[in-house]
Amino acid sequence: MAATAGPQVPASDVPVSGIPVLDLGPYRAGEPGALEALAVRLRHAQENVGFFVIVDHGVPQARIDAAFESARRFHALPLDAKLALKANEHNIGYLPFKGSTTRSSKVNVNTKPNLNEALFVKRDLGPDHPDVLAGKRYKAPNQWPLEGTLPGFRRDVVAYCDAMEALAKSLLPVYARALDLPAGWFDQAFDLPMYTLRMTHYPPVPEAEVEDNQFAIAPHTDSGFLTLLAQSDIPGLAIRLPDGTWVEPPPIPGSFVVNTGDLAHRWTNERFLSTPHRVIHRTPRDRYAVPFFFDCSYDHVMECIPTCTNPDNPPKFPPTTYPEYQLWFGSRNYAHIAPKAGEPMAAG
């Protein structure tokens, strides 16, 4: 479906970088007309950029600070302690430095490993959870440091995931209205969302040790529905605009950078952009990032959204589910993820 005509986005919402800034304050306060006004701005951002920044989002700064501190504390552990939690087939656990090569990029042939290490955390399920007992892919207990190693770590990480899940779910009515759908259209699809927190460490790497075509994170698009990224105090993230220009998001303290992932791009029949981005880290300081990847419920079938197709614009992708697509994406980018015999996997 072609972009819907509607009110124009105020120029003040689009800074010099070209990345729109959306104020959630009026919407969160329930002001009359705020949902529709915010949906207009979100639609513009998603159809023209694929990224935006949110302010007045309601997440306490102390919660954000605790997430960054948790990332710092974890990556300060001895390597042996981290390797004891090495990422498994569910993509839960520790990914060592240079442990991944981003091979799914549409804008760059990435052949060199990424210059970062990371801890992946998902919803904190117990070993007796029915989905864990059933052996469902991506449904497994998290891998936590040994009890007493990092006091308060698990508590703070789970609390941050809870806050990010609540924030992401609060945006769903805005996404629905931006797509000309009833405000509650996504409620069933996100009844029990899947999510992943990636606690990333970018250590300083001397320029002489960085190979050609090597990045802290190589150019890529995210795989899921949307990503929430608390802004770091050290720059490095760059976004590739549709005209090919690389720009950095406006550095607004306490804000979140938000972007569409590949699953939303597919679900909206390419109406919402999944925009490439990368990280280049060239400062002598350690840099940390805590992106939160948010997706629909495990078994929900994502087929073309009705307002994104018509007889002249048929669906471009077959229906898929979260585990099917993530298995395809993960097996291309992470050596520790591989499909099992008979396990369904979506086409890219």
Domain harbouring 62, CATH code: 2.60.120.330
Q: Please indicate, yes or no, if residue 176 is contained in any of the structural domains.
A: no
Cα–Cα distance measured from residue 280 to residue 83, given in angstroms and rounded to the nearest whole number: 25
Cα–Cα distance measured from residue 22 to residue 13, given in angstroms and rounded to the nearest whole number: 7
* Nearest C-alpha neighbor of 171 from the set 128, 227, 218: 227
Could you tell me the sign of the dihedral formed by the alpha carbons of 295, 49, 331, 344, in that order? Answer: positive
**Structurally, how many domains does the chain consist of?**
1
Cα–Cα distance measured from residue 265 to residue 244, given in angstroms and rounded to the nearest whole number: 18
Q: For residue range 32-79, what is the model confidence (pLDDT) as tens digits?
A: 999 999 999 999 999 999 999 999 999 999 999 999 999 999 999 999
List the Cα angle 230/280/53 in 5-degree steps.
30
Q: For residue range 269-304, what is the model confidence (pLDDT) as tens digits?
A: 999 999 999 999 989 999 999 999 999 999 999 999
In the structure, what pLDDT confidence band is assigned to residue 347 with cuts at 50, 70 and 90? Answer: low
Q: Please indicate, yes or no, if residue 228 is contained in any of the structural domains.
A: yes
Cα–Cα distance measured from residue 224 to residue 328, given in angstroms and rounded to the nearest whole number: 12
Cα–Cα distance measured from residue 310 to residue 89, given in angstroms and rounded to the nearest whole number: 39
In the structure, what pLDDT confidence band is assigned to residue 328 with cuts at 50, 70 and 90? Answer: confident
Q: Please indicate, yes or no, if residue 2 is contained in any of the structural domains.
A: no
Q: Please indicate, yes or no, if residue 323 is contained in any of the structural domains.
A: yes
pLDDT above 70: percentage of residues in the chain = 90
Q: Please indicate, yes or no, if residue 40 is contained in any of the structural domains.
A: no
Cα–Cα distance measured from residue 87 to residue 198, given in angstroms and rounded to the nearest whole number: 12
The first and second tokens of residue 129, run together, are 């959870």
Q: Please indicate, yes or no, if residue 8 is contained in any of the structural domains.
A: no
Q: Please indicate, yes or no, if residue 94 is contained in any of the structural domains.
A: yes
Is 60 in contact with 250 (CB distance < 8 Å)? no
Q: Please indicate, yes or no, if residue 273 is contained in any of the structural domains.
A: yes
* pLDDT for the residue numbered 10: 45
Give me the domain span that covers residue 201.
Answer: 58-169+188-333
* pLDDT for the residue numbered 346: 64
- pTM of the model as a whole: 0.91
Average pLDDT over residues 165-185: 98
